[in-house]
């Protein structure tokens, strides 16, 4: 039997990978249970780490007496805030959080001590022995309470509990309103929601005292930030730290920043010179949530009779918990994205990020854009109805024309929204069915968009945005080395496809190793939909560089010029009559004299994409490209129970070139569905700061039973800078569901829902109120 089949150069063609629907490269281990997540590393000597959490929402810490706990046999280490040398946080200017509280606790559930013990029982017993003395301070659970006169500030540097006030005034807003034929204002409220990724947070930290080296496995989207924060909080040199991100059970922004779990596990491991595993419970994962903040938006839109928007004025307040986290970025995103979906020149924005005594919020999928999109698309629909215009037509009246820059200087080179609108209008049968459905049924439309990576990184280092290495060795195997975290979004598959496409090889020839700081190049992480765009481009660059090396080697061997060499993937040849060299032969030629080859590729954003400087923070929102989506939601409401049944969703998403149409569909379906959860059932609730929805039943995640059929259409407005023209696919379609649903409710019941989630009991109340109003009118 021949080891390799003889290759007929007549028949050899470069293999197509891009644009081909393809299962995930790491699918087999996921479906067979072989994929190891952080909790699956069963280190025999691992100690059990447990965290003691604050029972009060706001207090001065008087003392934490750990003597009895430390004396308990089986307790190997105990740490408090005193064991850390620095604070952590996302923005270099707002690192205000200690891994374990010092001096003050600011929310219920904030860590106040942690132990590592030989087993769970001992660890729990030790926590029970810790004496915590404190003086309670006034605590604030709503934005209004937190910013009232004479409040106690949560942080000294924020005397009125406003973490950030963002303000801008673009164009001529007052004149815009003067020019309007119709001005309407509405207030919209979205509850706090949580990512509820299926894998609870976990960390495994191993400290090697002999070498002063720390190895951390962490369930994170940002291993590089974890690395930086370990250095910062433990005072260890970066070079002594190794961070590994194993398989991750979903992110959705829940671990887009370093969390205390990784830092605490590491501090414990160092203290006991051993290995410590902390696996948070689901309830603790809710406390550590970094979800989407509660947000109240008052929006005013001016519109001409034909539906052109003449001015927009947005005031919005988020209460985001006790620490800054991503908060400043979230409130900036709300401002930069609220109007930039459309061609609007006159826009005013006042955004307030408020500190409250609840667990800190963060960067939930669709970061900052979702709740203001709900407000915008709701009011736009009401105004269309009032002006007698079709909701599709109103949106079409306000479309951008790419290439362009928005009023806040966001660079838009590709804009597939018009096509998205056409597709869902047709697919849903809108023209024939809208307004003609049976009673209690409705159709609603909304649009949404999102960035393809933030053009300015949070940590400015002067390095390229993304770097990918490809290793090629004697065996002809190609290994992609990337720090880009695969978190289930399929990034490893996409990067493999990009490399395969450039080299014309089948994806099965290529392996990928991700997110181990020992061997993979640094990467900023999996957030703001940056990986496909930025790391994809870096992968293409690396593969192109590798191809040049191989082509040169083939040319040398065949004694021709490199430009005369044709790369067919498995064969390199000079001219169509040439027998050529097999890929293996080219590899042997390329390794002569150099040995193992590592080809590097980089990607950087261009300054035009940085978002301008018309107001402080205008860089947030700046991106190389934006994805666009439109969706129609059809519902049926039970008049007796107010139960809303989503019959069907038609969604069209402009993701540029769909590198892998199968995984693009998966991303869009997941986004729409997650939007449905926020719109209909999901809500993180607290009682005096105590989480009361810390499980997946009280925090009602939609099950397969009520999840609708989703008809997904992919629109490919090829982006000039995207990898093979690709853009974002995994976030934009979330935001549109919320207003599409409430617009459908308006269609069905003539009721404007402005508070989410719209649970059956809430809708029932509104329906009852409406009936009473109607009967009053009849009586009168």
Residues that bind other proteins (CB under 8 A): 23-24, 26-37, 39-40, 42, 195-200, 247-252, 279, 281-283, 487-490, 662-663, 665-666, 669-670, 672-674, 676, 695-697, 701, 703-705, 707, 709-710
Sign of CA dihedral 440, 443, 447, 450: positive
Nearer to other proteins, 42 or 778 (CB): 42
Q: How far, in Å, are 347, 426, 480, 711 from residue 514 at the CA level? A: 42, 42, 8, 33
Nearer to other proteins, 557 or 648 (CB): 648
For the bound state, the minimum distance from the C-beta of residue 47 to other proteins, rounded and expressed in Å, comes to 14
Nearer to other proteins, 35 or 591 (CB): 35
Nearer to other proteins, 41 or 615 (CB): 41
Phi and psi torsions of 117, nearest 5°: -140, 170
Q: Tell me the two tokens of residue 280.
A: 């948070």
Residue carrying the six token digits 């009011």? 379
For the bound state, the minimum distance from the C-beta of residue 424 to other proteins, rounded and expressed in Å, comes to 17
Neighbours of 28 (CB within 10 A): 11
Question: Are the C-beta atoms of 760 and 637 separated by less than 8 Å?
Answer: no
For the bound state, the minimum distance from the C-beta of residue 35 to other proteins, rounded and expressed in Å, comes to 5
Nearer to other proteins, 38 or 161 (CB): 38
Q: Tell me the two tokens of residue 687.
A: 């009682």
CA angle in degrees (0–180, nearest 5) for 371-344-716: 75
Distance of alpha carbon 371 from alpha carbon 536, whole angstroms = 30
Distance of alpha carbon 130 from alpha carbon 69, whole angstroms = 6
Among 403, 382, 62, 356, which residue's Cα sits nearest to residue 192?
Answer: 356
Question: Are the C-beta atoms of 204 and 270 separated by less than 8 Å?
Answer: no
**Exposure string for 374-408, b = 16+ CB within 10 A, e = fewer:** bbbbbbbbbbbbebebbbbebbebbbbebeebbbb
Q: How far, in Å, are 195, 252, 311, 703 from residue 674 at the CA level? A: 9, 10, 31, 11
Task: Name residue 636's beta-bridge partners.
Answer: 441, 645
For the bound state, the minimum distance from the C-beta of residue 33 to other proteins, rounded and expressed in Å, comes to 2
For the bound state, the minimum distance from the C-beta of residue 366 to other proteins, rounded and expressed in Å, comes to 14
Phi and psi torsions of 449, nearest 5°: -155, 170
Q: What is the 3-class SS of 623-659, one letter each residue?
A: CCCEEEEEEEEEEEECCCCCCEEEEEEEEEEECECCC
For the bound state, the minimum distance from the C-beta of residue 386 to other proteins, rounded and expressed in Å, comes to 34
For the bound state, the minimum distance from the C-beta of residue 633 to other proteins, rounded and expressed in Å, comes to 13
Question: Are the C-beta atoms of 91 and 460 separated by less than 8 Å?
Answer: no
- Which DSSP letter does residue 215 get? E
Neighbours of 418 (CB within 10 A): 19
Nearer to other proteins, 60 or 698 (CB): 698
For the bound state, the minimum distance from the C-beta of residue 477 to other proteins, rounded and expressed in Å, comes to 20
Among 401, 374, 398, which residue's Cα sits nearest to residue 311?
Answer: 398
Nearer to other proteins, 250 or 429 (CB): 250
Beta-carbon contacts of residue 449 (< 8 Å; ≥ 6 apart) = 337, 340, 341, 369, 417, 626, 627, 628, 629, 732
Question: Are the C-beta atoms of 367 and 735 separated by less than 8 Å?
Answer: no
Q: Does the N-terminal peptide bond of residue 403 adopt cis geometry, omega within 30 degrees of 0?
A: yes
Neighbours of 240 (CB within 10 A): 16
Q: How far, in Å, are 74, 306, 397, 615 from residue 389 at the CA level? A: 72, 8, 11, 35
Distance of alpha carbon 506 from alpha carbon 85, whole angstroms = 50
Task: Name residue 315's beta-bridge partners.
Answer: 298, 350
Nearer to other proteins, 284 or 343 (CB): 284
Nearer to other proteins, 198 or 688 (CB): 198
For the bound state, the minimum distance from the C-beta of residue 657 to other proteins, rounded and expressed in Å, comes to 19
Nearer to other proteins, 554 or 729 (CB): 729
Nearer to other proteins, 700 or 752 (CB): 700
Nearer to other proteins, 552 or 711 (CB): 711
Nearer to other proteins, 30 or 645 (CB): 30
End-to-end CA distance of the chain: 95
For the bound state, the minimum distance from the C-beta of residue 117 to other proteins, rounded and expressed in Å, comes to 15
Nearer to other proteins, 5 or 697 (CB): 697
Nearer to other proteins, 34 or 614 (CB): 34
For the bound state, the minimum distance from the C-beta of residue 482 to other proteins, rounded and expressed in Å, comes to 18
Q: Tell me the two tokens of residue 382.
A: 């009401």
Nearer to other proteins, 27 or 607 (CB): 27
For the bound state, the minimum distance from the C-beta of residue 96 to other proteins, rounded and expressed in Å, comes to 30
For the bound state, the minimum distance from the C-beta of residue 42 to other proteins, rounded and expressed in Å, comes to 6
For the bound state, the minimum distance from the C-beta of residue 712 to other proteins, rounded and expressed in Å, comes to 8
Nearer to other proteins, 31 or 692 (CB): 31
Nearer to other proteins, 250 or 457 (CB): 250
Give the burial class of 21: count Cβ atoms within 10 A of its Cβ; 0-12 exposed, 13-18 middle, 19 or more buried.
Answer: exposed
For the bound state, the minimum distance from the C-beta of residue 653 to other proteins, rounded and expressed in Å, comes to 13
For the bound state, the minimum distance from the C-beta of residue 29 to other proteins, rounded and expressed in Å, comes to 8
Phi and psi torsions of 627, nearest 5°: -95, 155
Distance of alpha carbon 201 from alpha carbon 249, whole angstroms = 9
The secondary structure of 446-463 as a DSSP string is EEEEEESS-SS-SS--SS
For the bound state, the minimum distance from the C-beta of residue 506 to other proteins, rounded and expressed in Å, comes to 17
For the bound state, the minimum distance from the C-beta of residue 130 to other proteins, rounded and expressed in Å, comes to 22
Distance of alpha carbon 511 from alpha carbon 513, whole angstroms = 7
């Amino acid at each position: 039997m021949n080891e390799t089949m003889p290759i007929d150069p007549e028949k050899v063609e470069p293999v197509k990978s891009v644009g081909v629907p393809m299962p995930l490269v790491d699918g087999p281990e996921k479906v067979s249970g072989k994929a190891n997540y952080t909790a699956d590393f069963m280190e025999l000597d691992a100690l059990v780490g447990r965290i003691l959490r604050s029972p009060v929402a706001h207090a001065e810490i008087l003392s934490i007496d750990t003597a009895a706990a430390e004396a308990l046999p089986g307790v190997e280490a105990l740490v408090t805030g005193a064991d850390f040398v620095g604070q952590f946080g996302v923005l270099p200017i707002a690192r205000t959080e200690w891994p374990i509280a010092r001096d003050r606790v600011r929310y219920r559930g904030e860590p106040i001590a942690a132990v590592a013990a030989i087993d769970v029982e001992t660890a729990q017993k030790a926590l029970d022995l810790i004496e915590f003395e404190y003086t309670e301070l006034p605590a604030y659970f709503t934005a209004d309470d937190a910013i009232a006169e004479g409040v106690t500030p949560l942080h000294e540097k924020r005397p009125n509990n406003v973490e950030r006030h963002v303000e801008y005034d673009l164009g001529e807003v007052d004149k815009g309103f003067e020019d309007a034929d119709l001005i309407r204002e509405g207030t919209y409220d979205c509850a706090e929601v949580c990512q509820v990724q299926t894998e609870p947070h976990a960390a495994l930290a191993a400290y090697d005292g002999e070498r002063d080296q720390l190895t951390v496995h962490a369930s994170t989207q940002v291993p590089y930030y974890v690395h930086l924060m370990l250095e910062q909080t433990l005072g260890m040199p970066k070079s002594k730290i190794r961070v590994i991100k194993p398989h991750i059970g979903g992110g959705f922004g829940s671990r887009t920043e370093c969390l205390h779990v990784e830092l605490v596990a590491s501090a414990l491991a160092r203290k006991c010179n051993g290995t410590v595993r902390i696996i948070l419970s689901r309830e603790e994962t809710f406390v550590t949530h970094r979800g989407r903040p509660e947000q109240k938006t008052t929006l005013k839109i001016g519109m001409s009779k034909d539906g052109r928007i003449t001015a927009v004025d947005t005031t919005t307040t988020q209460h985001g918990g006790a620490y800054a986290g991503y908060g400043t970025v979230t409130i900036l995103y709300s401002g930069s994205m609220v109007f930039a979906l459309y061609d609007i020149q006159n826009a005013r924005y006042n955004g307030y990020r408020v500190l409250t005594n609840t667990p800190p919020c963060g960067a939930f999928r669709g970061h900052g854009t979702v709740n203001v999109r709900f407000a915008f698309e709701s009011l736009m629909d009401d105004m269309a109805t009032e002006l007698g215009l079709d909701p599709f037509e109103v949106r079409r009246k306000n479309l951008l024309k790419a290439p362009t820059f928005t009023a806040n200087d966001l660079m838009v080179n590709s804009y597939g929204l018009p096509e998205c609108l056409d597709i869902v209008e047709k697919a849903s049968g809108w023209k024939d069915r809208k307004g003609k459905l049976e009673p209690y049924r409705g159709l609603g439309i909304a649009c949404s968009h999102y960035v393809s990576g933030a053009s300015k990184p949070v940590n400015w280092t002067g390095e390229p945005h993304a770097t990918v290495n490809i290793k090629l060795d004697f065996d002809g195997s190609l290994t992609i080395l990337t720090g880009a975290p695969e978190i289930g979004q399929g990034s490893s598959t996409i990067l493999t496809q990009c490399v395969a496409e450039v080299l014309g090889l089948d994806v099965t020839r290529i392996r990928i190793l991700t997110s181990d700081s020992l061997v993979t190049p640094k990467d900023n992480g999996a957030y703001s939909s940056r990986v496909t765009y930025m790391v994809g481009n870096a992968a293409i660059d690396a593969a192109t560089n590798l191809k040049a090396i191989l082509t040169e080697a083939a040319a040398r061997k065949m004694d021709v010029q490199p430009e005369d060499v044709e790369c067919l993937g498995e064969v390199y040849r000079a001219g169509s009559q040439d027998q050529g060299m097999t890929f293996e032969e080219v590899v042997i030629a390329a390794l002569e004299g150099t040995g193992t080859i590592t080809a590097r590729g980089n990607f950087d954003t261009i300054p035009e994409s940085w978002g301008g400087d018309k107001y402080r923070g205008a860089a947030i929102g700046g991106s190389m490209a934006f994805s666009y989506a439109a969706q129609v939601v059809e519902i049926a409401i039970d008049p007796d129970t107010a139960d809303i049944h989503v019959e069907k969703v038609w969604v069209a998403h402009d993701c540029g070139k769909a590198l892998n149409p199968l995984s693009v569909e998966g991303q869009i379906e997941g986004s729409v569905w997650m939007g449905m959860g926020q719109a209909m059932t999901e809500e993180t609730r607290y009682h005096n700061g105590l989480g009361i929805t810390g499980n997946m039943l009280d925090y009602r995640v939609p099950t397969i039973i009520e999840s609708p059929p989703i008809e997904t259409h992919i629109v490919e407005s090829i982006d000039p800078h995207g990898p093979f023209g690709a853009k974002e696919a995994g976030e934009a379609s979330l935001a549109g569901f919320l207003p599409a649903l409430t617009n459908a409710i308006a269609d069905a019941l003539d009721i404007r829902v402005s508070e989410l989630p719209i649970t059956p009991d809430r809708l029932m109340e509104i329906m009852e109120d409406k009936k009473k109003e109607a009967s009053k009118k009849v009586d009168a």
